[in-house]
Amino acid sequence: MSSHSVTHSNPVKYNHPTSQPNGLGTPIVLTIAGSDSGGGAGIQADIKAISATGGFACSAITAITSQNTLGVAAIFPIPLDHVKSQLDAVFSDIKITAVKIGMLADSSIINTVADTLRQYRPKFIVLDPVMIATSGDLLLQESAINTLKQTLFPLVDIITPNLPEAAALTGLPRPTNEDEMLAMVPALRALGASCILLKGGHLDDQEESLDLLITATTVERLSAPRIHTKNTHGTGCTLSSAMASYLAQGYSLLDAVHLAKSYISQAIKHADQLHIGQGHGPVNHFFALHQDGSTQ
């Protein structure tokens, strides 16, 4: 057993917020990510999640993917000058409060994004280190992993790796249980990000969906009932985008993580109401439109 001190909480007790905590202006979120032609992940999922949770979404596309619920057929990185021009266009005109970063494809794009974030200094940055799609397809060149760690991790408020991504980042074996997740904590802290949400969704044999919220001194255990469905395409994009949306609305990082965990749990719970494709379908981002708006 791990010697880490772990606190426990149940994120699904949070209700969907109906107002911003600090009476702020329009909560604007910029998502920097790849496009998913199937509509279930990437920029498309980000815009849906930000909108559904109360934010306004802007976007800068880093790559165009040819994909559907069965997998990724091709990836076309956007030319660097156009990635930069998208970012400049948005930042120079629109007051961006939070940034969500997803697929970055290669080292050149990572460096361009990092330079631009240093230039404009948005208040919050959430990084989903997208490396491997739900289908197993590689979405980040292996040579770019070190660039990601060295240039972007020191700039962000939180990273949100799943278990395969955490293994790729640390060089450790992919955890197969909670104890192995806890054993990975020191290596994750050493990556340089100020906060890490280690997502345990790949532990399919467990009856709970377990994440670990890791800071420099604490580990908090976030648990929700596991929903058994094949429709989980875009869960990581959706979770990190919801987190950025809540941060833009004035919630603390801890509350934003809890609210995002609650939102994604409900989006997965209602995923089977949709019938999209023949493989791993998307989560139901707008489940609340057909209910009373509560995530309970």
Q: What are the pLDDT digits (tens) for 113-167?
A: 999 999 999 999 999 998 766 556 666 767 788 899 999 999 999 999 999 999 9
237 has catalytic annotation: yes
Residues 6 or more apart from 155 whose CB is under 8 A from it?
114, 117, 118, 125
What are 72-108's pLDDT values in tens digits? 899 899 999 999 999 999 999 999 999 999 999 889 9
Q: Are 245 and 139 in contact (CB under 8 A)?
A: no
Indicate whether 7 belongs to any domain: no
* Residue 1 included in any domain: no
Q: CA-to-CA distance for 111 and 151, rounded, in angstroms?
A: 7
Question: Would you say residue 176 lies in a domain?
Answer: yes
183 within a domain of the structure (yes/no): yes
Q: Report how far residue 182's alpha carbon sits from residue 275's, in angstroms, rounded to the nearest whole number.
A: 37
235 is catalytic: yes
Question: Which amino acid is residue 111, in one-letter code?
Answer: N
251: domain CATH number is 3.40.1190.20
Indicate which residue of 232, 250, 281, 295 is catalytic: 232
Residue type, 8: H
- Helix, strand, or coil (residue 263): helix
Is residue 214 in a domain?
yes
Query: Could you give the CA distance from residue 48 to residue 43 in angstroms, rounded to a whole number?
Result: 9
Catalytic residue among 236, 238, 269, 295: 236
Answer whether residue 110 is part of any domain.
Answer: yes
| pLDDT of residue 248 exceeding 70 | yes
234 catalytic residue (yes or no): yes
Coil, helix or strand for 84?
helix
Residue by residue, DSSP assigns 160-212 as: --BHHHHHHHH-SPPP-SHHHHHHTHHHHHTT--S-EEEE-TT-TTSSEEEEE
Task: Considering the candidates 234, 250, 261, 281, report the single residue annotated as catalytic.
Answer: 234
Catalytic residue among 53, 97, 235, 238: 235
Tell me the pLDDT band of 10, cut-offs 50, 70 and 90.
Answer: low
| DSSP tag of 57 | E
Q: In this structure, what token pair is assigned to residue 153?
A: 């991790």
The domain of 61 spans 26-286
What is the DSSP pairing of strand 124-127 with strand 158-159? parallel
User: What pTM was computed for the model?
Assistant: 0.90
> What tokens does 93 get?
């005109």
Q: Based on the structure, what is the number of domains in the chain?
A: 1
Q: Are 214 and 192 in contact (CB under 8 A)?
A: no
pLDDT digits (tens, 9 = 90+) for 145-160: 889 999 999 999 999 9
d(CA 159, CA 169): 11
Tell the residue number behind the tokens 């965990």, with chain if given.
261
In a domain, 104, yes or no: yes
User: Considering the domain boundaries, does residue 245 fall inside one?
Assistant: yes
CA distances from residue 132 to 73, 91, 105, 282 in whole angstroms, order as listed: 14, 29, 11, 16
Calculate the average pLDDT of the chain.
89
Q: What distance in Å separates the CA atoms of residue 289 and residue 214, rounded to the nearest whole number?
A: 33
Amino acid at position 183, single letter: A
